[in-house]
Structure formats: C-alpha cells, structure tokens
Chain A
Amino acid sequence: MQRQSKLNRKVNNDNHSDTEGYFREEIYLPASTGYILLSLIIALTLNLLPLQQEFLIFRPDFVAITLIYWCVNESHKMGMSIAFLMGLMMDAGNTSIFGQHALAYCIAVYLALILGRRLRIFNLMQQAPQVGLILFVMQAIIVLVAMAGGSNFPGWHYFSATLSGILLWAPIAVLISIPLKQKPDPDAL
C-alpha cells in the first residue's frame, strides 16, 4: 500500500514536471492576415532604405526572410501569389528586370513550404543554416536571371547577403513572434 502511494506520488511528480515542461514551451497565437501583410510591408520598406554601397552588399533580403518565416510558421496563410506580388514590388523599387525577384521569391516560398514541416522541429539556431540554403538558392536565381539579361557575374561577395540573412534569421523570427506571444495568465484555470 505504502509502496503504491509512493509510486503514485512518483507518477504525480512526473506528471507535474511534464506539465511544467509543456507550459514552458511557448505557444503563439495564430497570426492574422493583417499582421502578416503589415510585417511584409515593413520588410519591403527596410529593403528600400537608401544605403551606401558598402553596406548594401551586406544587407539581407528582409522580404525573403519574412516570407520564409510565414511559410514555416503559418504555411496555410502564405500563398505563392503574395510572394509573386512582393517580388514585383521589389523589382519596381530595385530597378531590376521585371519578374526577377518575383521568380526568386516564388521558388524560395516553394522550398520553404516543402521544408516547413521539417524546419519546425528545430529551434531557431538550427533553422538558420537551412534557411540560409533557401536564401542562397534564391540569390543564385536572381544572379542567373541577371546574367540572362546580359550582366557579368557579380562575384562571390554578392552572396554575403545570404550570410547576413543566416545571422539575422533568429533575431527577425523572434521580433516577428513577439506580438503573437500569449500572455501567461496563472489564474486562467
């Protein structure tokens, strides 16, 4: 009898620690469509910042990173049509070939949709290199389209934007998810 109660207590303890672990895991509210659009507009504005040449080469593509974030975390609300439209806007602002960024963003979103379920298993730090792979493929497509338009290969330093994208993936993801964090309410139950 005593042994059983001890066992019970142990089970209870286990349960307790389990629930604690469960609560420690952050639960995010589902993002509204308005919030997704707002984040994309902010990202586009960041992309359009007038910067000097030296900083420009290291600037990550904020729009691409935001698109990938939503593909991974809210895949049913992210469509390729949004990516396509964002790409067209980026092309008009960036004075590049019309359709260049649209194509690149669509392929990035496709990759992110396919890898999304897999990516969600990992934490942000582990996600970063895999996101970097998507960003690299995206930049490679942009370069290929530019070269089809008759430009020279810009040199490998062009891909430093992928590196800065990898470094900024975790901060950006945290920043986007702050408004979606559920306020813990201890009196709820």
Chain B
Amino acid sequence: MTADPQFFRHGPGPFARLFVFALLACILIAEDLRFKRFPELRQAVGIVIFPLQKIAYIPTNIYDQIEKLIASFYLVEENQWLKQQYQEDREKLLKLQSLEAENVQLRKLLGAMQGIEADTHTQAVMAEILYTPRDPFNHKITLNKGSQHDIKLGQAVIDDQGIVGQITRIYPWSSEVTLLIDKNHSVPVQVVRNGLRSVISGTGKQDALLLRYLSVNTDIIPGDLLVTSGIGGIYPPGIPVATVDKIERDPVDDFAHIIGTPIAGVDRNRQVLILSLTPPPTDELAETVKIESQSK
C-alpha cells in the first residue's frame, strides 16, 4: 500500500477499470441470454473448474462410503426385501408383457396405426448430481457424466419415480440438466385416466408445474396422474411427470388454471438416470440452427 504511492501509480483508476469490466460482463450476459454464439467459452471455463468440482465432491463421497459401511450391516435384511420386491415387480412385468401382446393384437384388429412407436428400448446411464446451484432462480443441476460418456443434448433425466428434466448443456466430463420446474421447460404429457394430451411447463417455483391451454370444461380432476406422451421424441412415453394438484375454473378465462406437483424428487436426489433415445434431440440449440438456416 505504502510502497506504491498514488503519485507514481500507472494505469486507469478504479472507476475506469470497473467501467471496462462491467461493459465486458454485460456483453457476455447479453451474449448468453440472446445470441448464444460461443458456447465454447463457457465450456473452456467449465473444464478449468472441473477439478475443483471433483475436489468439492470428495466430502460427499466419504459420506457415501460411510453410509455404505453402515448399510452393509443390514445386508441380509435388505437382500430379503429386495428379493420380495423383485418377485412383486416380476409379477407386474409378466402382466405387462401379456397386456402388451394383447394390446398389439387389439390394435391389429382395429387396424389402427401403431401410434407413437413404443420405443422402450432405452439405454440408461447412471449419473450423480455434482452440484446444485444456490440461486433459487436457477433450476439446473450439474451431473458427473458428459460428452466423454456419450451423453448428448436433449436426453431425458429421470429418477426412480419420474422425470427430473432434460440435458441442456454438455461439458467433456459433466453436463447440465434443466429441471422440470424451470420456467423455460415444457414436457408433452397425457392424463392416464382419459388419455387427454397437453403440455406441462415449469413455473420457476419449487413444486409447482402449470398445465397450459386446457379449456375450462376439460375433464380433469385433482389427483390425476400425468405421464409423458412421447410426442416430440425427447421423452420416452409413459413416464410419470406430475399429479394434478389444484384446478381453478374461472369462467372469465378461456383456459383453466391447473397446477401440478412434480412426482420425481427434483431437488432431493443424489443419483439419477440419463435415458438415451434414438430420435435426434430437438432443443433450443437445434431451433437456433434451424432459424439460421432459414435466414440463409
């Protein structure tokens, strides 16, 4: 401080420097919000901090190890429980297979189209949540699998109960998932009870999804289960998304105000599954490419 008196100091003052850096930051913000031309920039920084993310994950790893050690004392009971569970699931699976066969038969009789191809041959990759952002307006999580593990943009992410979200950004060793509750995220859904199709969107609030564009007199009741319809080709059909929670039918509005609760533990899980489907992902990025090609 004293070795560098004001008199001899070179370079611009703090305010000028702030101005330059603030301008630079604003350009970056505008670029990220609107244009999205240089995803490489963020990827480069992402690679730099990846070792730090790994180091930050060490305490959780140790905790997991200890938990495993404690759990190993109850292995016999757990094994028994799992066997029982397996038997029950097996029974359901057998029923499902016979139902599937019956369904195919009936469809053939009806001469109906196969509808949405039942693409149940999905591959699942297990991933761990590396980081949950602190900001409540940032509904994204980081997973520990990336392009090096053959993860691709637009793949669906589920947990043991239902849809968690969708992969929207990829780094070499990690990837970002936009959660269901994100404001810019929508899923095509279907009501299990009557096959009614709609689109459910995030609201930006925890535990609240908005079912849009259903008219006031739609047949929907609280407690209805919504599953993915498979339209759009991003999500495999039939995976639970939400249950209908609250319905406000105001005759003034054209549409009913329907709020759902996500089924998956969107913010409670540590392990998730990444599903890979065969159709190409249609994502924001894909859209921008389309727009660009149109403008050319």
Contact = CB atoms under 8 A, between A and B. Distances in A.
Given A95-B131, A103-B26, 19 more contacts: A48-B49, A50-B56, A59-B134, A76-B3, A80-B17, A89-B45, A94-B133, A96-B135, A98-B28, A98-B31, A98-B41, A98-B42, A99-B24, A103-B21, A103-B22, A114-B14, A148-B29, A150-B184, A161-B134
B267 A53 contact: yes
Interface string A136-157: 0000001101111111101100
26 contacts: A41-B52, A45-B55, A49-B59, A50-B56, A50-B129, A50-B131, A50-B132, A80-B17, A84-B24, A84-B25, A89-B49, A91-B42, A95-B131, A95-B133, A95-B142, A98-B42, A99-B25, A99-B27, A99-B29, A102-B24, A102-B25, A113-B14, A146-B137, A152-B137, A154-B135, A161-B134
Interface string B117-149: 000000000000111111111101110000000
A152 B142 contact: no
A51 B132 contact: yes
Given A80-B17, A145-B29, A151-B204, A95 B176 contact: yes
Interface residue tally on A, bucketed by range: 35 or more
Q: Which secondary structure dominates where chain B touches chain A?
A: helix
A158 interface: yes
A93 B32 CA distance: 15
Interface of B: 1, 3-4, 14-15, 17-18, 21-22, 24-29, 31-33, 41-42, 45-46, 48-49, 52-53, 55-57, 59-60, 129-138, 140-142, 169, 176, 183-184, 204-205, 267
Contacts, number: 149
A95 B138 CA distance: 7
Contacts of B28: 88, 98-99, 102
Contact of B32 (A50, A59, A98): A98
A107 interface: yes
A87 interface: yes
B174 to A, nearest CB: 10
Contacts of A49: 56, 59
Contact of A93 (B14, B49, B136, B169): B49
A155 B55 CA distance: 32
Contacts of A103: 21-22, 25-26, 29
A44 interface: yes
